[in-house]
Structure 1
């Protein structure tokens, strides 16, 4: 992106129940850049599919400031969504996104909005990222997309960020590319964002941070469990991999987490199963196998004990993917 004195036009397509945090993350850095520069480096507009106000996930409604027909004049379009993206992947909006891409508009997405771009066929062969909670199911549904766990990805005319505060980092990176690091650093300071994170920064807290543990052997045991959710290990194998006796490992789990290694491991597998049931169309047997259960009956029994209902109830509320676009829709 070469330095140029002309303003850059951004459009933000708001999908119902979008995350206001995600919108702020990609919009506010532009406003702040204009203020610090003392001139209009960036312009932006809010778009909705039907021109009507759009309600965010927190209940606040936003009125669009432009119509979809004006999208062809944009330099960059970013789709802003949240967990219900799959419910709004209509053929109308997918066709419009493909049209914008064909016109040469840079196409982007925050958080789960990457799902919409993927269903439009706009991410095939590109690197992209998505919220960590959706990454596994996204990879399953879109094998042609190079989905990563990065904080954000910029690949040619496609830009995606994992959501939340990651939008700040992506936009500051874009500002730095166009107007220099000093301006991007100034924006970061104004946003009380003490570090402009690189794209490869982790989306999640470290395992230590998530569980508030400092014990290295315990950390290693849990890390081993998370790497073997499908091809499960028994407790003796885990203990050997981390260089402890099984008794010592059990003592660590009891004193640090008030549970047993087996119970903790089972919880990790069931949490993963729940995510797969909610985000994919894998059947119950497939989910059970993917989470290391040898039989459906054992899986269902364990699932009910943890969540109070069977996987079938969860699966009934899962997201159903729309058919992939045919060639005639492009």
Structure 2
């Protein structure tokens, strides 16, 4: 079927021509990569000429496999770029293993020339490891927030869907690449063009850098109860120094017994149990995504005793923290 093609009129004299270099890491997220690339392709179609061009690169060149198992062929190794190019590092599963010394050295060299650098999905880790986010704001996929915050204290980590801090950009993964690229298109060309691209993508809710990446607590737990949501929010914000159920109850104007009944009714567990599961989930993230010692992981998750931590971990995950750490290399 022939679609009606309506081009958004942009004065060619002011429209920039920009080149993007997508660096594909092993097991990168195809959704994050494709979302960004499609925005550029559609923008070109809407304005009627190649305002944007792109190249796919990878360390060593050749084929790269995404997290879904599909193989992509890159167009070359990590070559020298022009100063006005933009690098988009595409991360995904187990980004630490995909981060090499060669990649970090290349990023530092290109950044020193003034090249803009962005990280899609988990690639903020690569940028931070290269020192490109020191003193800057950034974001990363929510599953990697705990480990990132522990390793890179000099980076101001947010929970936004995307962040642009001068010539550094980062996204939280998934469709957040679309939100970042629409913002870039609006800055480069016009708000009208960005909205036209969103329309083509059937993307009706454009998010800004003020939007957070995770679903609200009521949506996540499937319960809309303001006091329950507030207590869970306080729990999530105080993992390293847990708050007692009595204090949590007092903070929301309830008795400890009322809080207990509230959790039993809606979540089928006690406040203490729910809090413990939150702490153990963070511990598992740190064990799988960082090289922190088991003792330090325990302390970061509010356990004063390594033996108590190990006992709780085994009870919940049916394995010990040490064995979990040992299985890290085989993580899917």
Superposed pair shares fold, TM > 0.5? yes
Q: CA RMSD in A?
A: 1.8
Name the residue aligned to 1:220: 230
Please give the alpha-carbon distance, in whole angstroms, between the structure 2 residues aligned to 1:159 and 1:62.
24
Give how far 1:318 is off. Answer: 4.5
In the alignment, what sits opposite 1:294?
304
Matching of residue 191 in structure 1 with residue 201 in structure 2: yes
Question: Are 1:269 and 2:279 matched, yes or no?
Answer: yes
Counterpart CA distance in 1 for 2:304 and 2:245 is: 17
1:263-305 CA-partner distances (Å, limit 9, x unpaired): 1111111111111212222222222222122311111111001
User: What 5-or-longer segments of structure 2 have no aligned partner?
Assistant: 1-12
Question: SS state of the match for residue 68, structure 1?
Answer: coil
* Contact residue 62 and residue 75 of structure 2 kept, 8 A: no
- Which of 2, 7, 13 is 2:23 aligned to? 13
- Look up the match of 2:322: 312
Partner of 1:167: 177
* Matched position secondary structure for 1:98: helix
Q: Is this contact kept in 1: 2:44–2:51, CA < 8 A?
A: yes
- Structure 1 spans left out of the alignment, 5+ residues: 320-330
Equivalence for 2:123 = 113
Contact 1:280 1:318 in 2 (8 A): no
Cα contact 1:175–1:184 (8 A) shared by 2: yes
Range that drifts further, 106-115 or 224-233:
224-233
How many Å apart are 1:309 and its aligned residue?
A: 0.1
Matched, 1:147 2:157: yes
Give me the whole-angstrom Cα distance separating, in 1, the residues matched to 2:239 and 2:114. 42
Instruction: Confirm or deny: 8 A CA contact 2:246 2:256 kept in the other structure.
Output: yes
- 1:179 equivalent in structure 2: 189
Task: Provide the residue aligned with 2:218 in structure 1.
Answer: 208
8 A Cα contact 1:207 1:219, kept in partner = yes
Contact 1:127 1:147 in 2 (8 A): yes
Question: Which residue of structure 1 aligns with residue 64 of structure 2?
Answer: 54
Distance (whole Å) between structure 1 residues aligned to residue 97 and residue 46 of structure 2: 39
How far apart, in 1, do the equivalents of 2:303 and 2:37 lie? Answer: 45
Contact in 2 for aligned 1:11/1:74 (Cα 8 Å): no
Name the SS of the counterpart of 1:189 in structure 2: helix
Find the counterpart in structure 2 of residue 27 from structure 1. 37
The whole-number CA distance in structure 2 between the counterparts of 1:240 and 1:5 is 58
TM-score, with length taken from structure 2: 0.91
Which piece of structure 1 moves more, 133-142 or 244-253?
133-142
Determine the C-alpha separation between the residues in 1 that align with 2:108 and 2:303: 41
SS at match of 2:224: coil
CA deviation after TM superposition for structure 1 residue 73, in Å: 6.8
Deviation at 1:212, TM superposition (A): 0.8
Aligned to 1:158: 168
Aligned match for 2:261, one of 251, 266, 290: 251
Which digits, 9 at most, give the CA deviation of each residue in 1:160-203, with x for residues without a partner?
A: 11111111000000000111000100111111111221102011
Does the CA contact (< 8 Å) of 2:117 and 2:167 recur in 1? yes
